Chains A and B, each alone.
Chain A
């Protein structure tokens, strides 16, 4: 078996292109991810809402309120009505206030920035009403009330949830690791094609040897898993350099990668064994499956896995990419390894089933003499 593994390894190294792309593609994609939302991996700063203010009555107290809020929540500039309309049309500002005896707000849409502008006016109006109410019912406390309005502000502390780090953008990277694991299916696919006599000359050469099929399959399997693990290790180190949160025990992370790669290679072996279609077609199928699985695990949209969880939780339970990314998430966010273990157990069961089917298809294959 060691001899078969040695030659499998040599073949894999000589077909360097296959191996290279399985490893290089996730690295390049990680770089692109990092470029696209690199700043969101750590902490992003709030950018004050851009707005304008048209002052028709300088005595209105709202002008002072805006001055106080400027720089914190808002970036308001005094402009005339024509400029305000132009800037709103061109999207340079989210809205503008017209301050006369009353305050009017003009916004371009109903989105959140407009809501923030609206909330500022709303709070001001409410405080005015409260003042009137106090003057009517508790005039003796007027001074205290004004002092509270002017000086009191509730303190809000931005904290992590129960001490847990949640950065939704990490979903992209966890899905990327999952995709990298599943890319092992290209290696598994080539391995299987090279075992079958009707699909490759090497397969034909191997078919005439008395070696047990199980030995050949497992040799190919172990070599491909081992070689692809090197790709995954490089990827993990690279992600760490990029600043992706990969907390938890290193050994547990490596275990996810090992089982993920086993799943990917098994999937490739299954695709390689189930039909006589060309290598091109099978590669297409392998790619379609790995891309779809990664897509559903959140490779393109961070919220995708949540949507699948809401509408079809069973898909997340069997999708290997979702399971791999969930295992990383559990490890990073939670202390308990219960969920982590469940994910890995399902991946192992899936891999066993796929390997068993591949073996059963290939083991009794006989070729007629022509």
Chain B
């Protein structure tokens, strides 16, 4: 109990830096929400509207018709030349498709020899969607002129047909018309917050225990190395519960009824708690392994950012290549994110049962197994260090 209290005292002594990290990581998480909400075009699926810039060098009835057509479902910026700010907009992903309408576009459409230069952003799918729209409209203009319609009639007819809507039914399997709710992104970034805060705080406290005076004082006592390790884990467990409570509170305040009303709420909580257990064990192993502050800041960053990048926290799992996914299966963050995708895709997962529910519990089991292995390794390392001293 005295070792446990000692850990708590040290956690309390380092609470200042802990609070700073907590605030920084919560801030980063919420800013990330803004990034994803305003910039979902990162290579994965996308809503119907894409941001297009049109450079109109022709300024003819047909080029204006094409612009009007593109405006129907998309955000369109029009300019007469390529400027540096257009490059900036594409670089910052504020536009995902640029089409240059060349001089003489109208004449070439009529002749049937039209070529358009386009530039696609990071999302290839957005680019293909842009291609289909631009090609579709230009093709129709040519077809109509071949059919004998005048330029103005062709443009009008092509625009008129654009109001025709196909018979499309959204099955809405995951609810919310397939678009994940905003709290999904919060939950997606939670590993970053947990890993960031716990790795740094636990690492800092563990470093205190490496100081000669404290280590010698503890060695004078009769508490075994194993019990000391266990006491440390319990104290850090308490810290983890505290951090979970804070994040849960923030989520409830920010998302309110949306998240509280989710039919999978319990499963989200279980998933987050299991992740917390894994994060705790990783942080403990890190704390046992590092020798000084520099190593701690370096390793904590590598671990937290590495697990987040490879586990699908920052880069969605769909975007990771096959080899990376194979590597990611060895990371707890992958299983957490995978479970999150299962839950988002299946409202009322308990009632669905079958493959999806099995997949969810497999994810939970793998995370717990990883957590156990890491804790055992950490305790063994700690014991070995004690014996070596």
Binding site for B on A (CB under 8 A): 17-18, 20-22, 24-25, 28-29, 32-33, 35-40, 44-46, 49, 73, 88-91, 94, 102-116, 118-123, 125-127, 129-130, 133-134, 137-138, 140-141, 144-145, 147-149, 152-162, 164, 166-169, 171, 186, 279-281, 283-285, 287-288, 291-292, 295-296, 300-307, 309-310, 329, 333-334
Contacts and interface: CB of A to CB of B under 8 A. Distances in A.
Contacts of B353: none
Contact of A138 (B142, B148, B173): B148
B314 A116 contact: no
Contacts of B98: 161
A287 B132 CA distance: 47
B20 A152 contact: no
B295 A21 contact: yes
B125 interface: yes
Given A152-B142, A156-B135, A292-B28, A122 B297 contact: no
B366 interface: no
Interface stretch (B254-262, B269-277, B299-307, B377-385): B299-307
Nearest to B208: A280
Interface core residue of B94, B121, B294 (most chain A CB under 10 Å) = B294
Interface residues of B, number: 110
B45 A46 contact: no
Given A105-B168, A110-B179, A152-B112, A141 B122 contact: no
Contacts of B129: 112, 115-116, 119
B43 interface: yes
Given A44-B124, A110-B178, A306-B94, A105 B134 contact: no
Contacts, number: 328
B147 A168 contact: no
B337 to A, nearest CB: 13
A111 B179 contact: yes
Interface string B135-171: 1101110111011110000000100011011111111
Contacts of A301: 32, 35-36, 39, 314
Nearest to A33: B309
Given A130-B144, A141-B146, A46 B48 contact: no
A278 B387 CA distance: 30
A280 B17 contact: yes
Contacts of B178: 107-111, 114
A162 to B, nearest CB: 5
A118 to B, nearest CB: 5
Given A104-B169, A106-B171, A110-B47, A35 B164 contact: no
A121 B14 contact: no
A349 B170 CA distance: 56
Interface of B: 14, 16-17, 20-21, 24, 27-28, 31-32, 34-36, 38-39, 42-43, 45-48, 50, 82, 84, 86-87, 90-94, 98, 112, 114-129, 131-136, 138-140, 142-144, 146-149, 157, 161-162, 164-174, 177-179, 192, 200, 204, 207, 291-295, 297-299, 301-302, 305-306, 308-310, 314-315, 319-321, 324, 327, 345, 355
9 contacts: A22-B298, A37-B319, A104-B168, A113-B125, A118-B166, A121-B166, A126-B162, A154-B116, A156-B115
A102 B146 CA distance: 27
Contacts of A89: 171, 173
Nearest to B205: A280
8 interchain residue pairs of minimum CB distance: A109-B178, A306-B92, A21-B298, A111-B45, A112-B46, A284-B17, A303-B39, A138-B148
B143 A25 contact: no
A161 B97 CA distance: 10
A320 B301 CA distance: 19
Contact of A144 (B39, B140, B146, B302): B146
A287 B200 contact: yes
Contacts of A160: 119
Contact of A280 (B24, B50, B204): B204
A36 B178 CA distance: 25
Contacts of A159: 117-119
Given A102-B167, A300-B314, A301-B35, A144 B43 contact: no
B169 A107 contact: yes
A104 B170 CA distance: 11
A23 B298 CA distance: 9
A109 B177 CA distance: 5
A22 B298 CA distance: 7
B302 A36 contact: no
B171 A28 contact: no
Contact of A288 (B20, B36, B114, B136): B20
A334 to B, nearest CB: 6
Given A122-B164, A162-B87, A145 B147 contact: yes
A322 to B, nearest CB: 12
Given A109-B174, A110-B179, 16 more contacts: A25-B301, A35-B327, A88-B171, A104-B169, A105-B168, A108-B178, A110-B177, A114-B45, A116-B129, A119-B129, A119-B136, A133-B157, A162-B87, A168-B90, A285-B20, A300-B28
A189 to B, nearest CB: 10
Contacts of A36: 309-310, 314-315, 320, 324
Contacts of A103: 166-167
Nearest to B112: A152
A126 B170 contact: no
Contacts of A113: 45, 125
Given A108-B178, A112-B125, A280-B207, A171 B132 contact: no
A106 B178 CA distance: 13
A38 B321 contact: yes
A112 B126 contact: yes
B140 A107 contact: no
A111 B28 contact: no
Contacts of A39: 321
Given A28-B302, A28-B306, A156 B118 contact: yes
A300 B38 CA distance: 15
Contact of A22 (B47, B166, B294): B294
Given A107-B168, A119-B136, A288-B20, A303 B92 contact: yes
Contacts of B173: 88-89, 108-109
Contacts of B112: 148, 152
A156 B147 contact: no
B55 to A, nearest CB: 10
Contact of A156 (B131, B166, B294, B306): B131
B116 A119 contact: no
B301 A29 contact: yes
Contacts of A37: 315, 319-320
Contact of B295 (A17, A296, A309, A310): A17
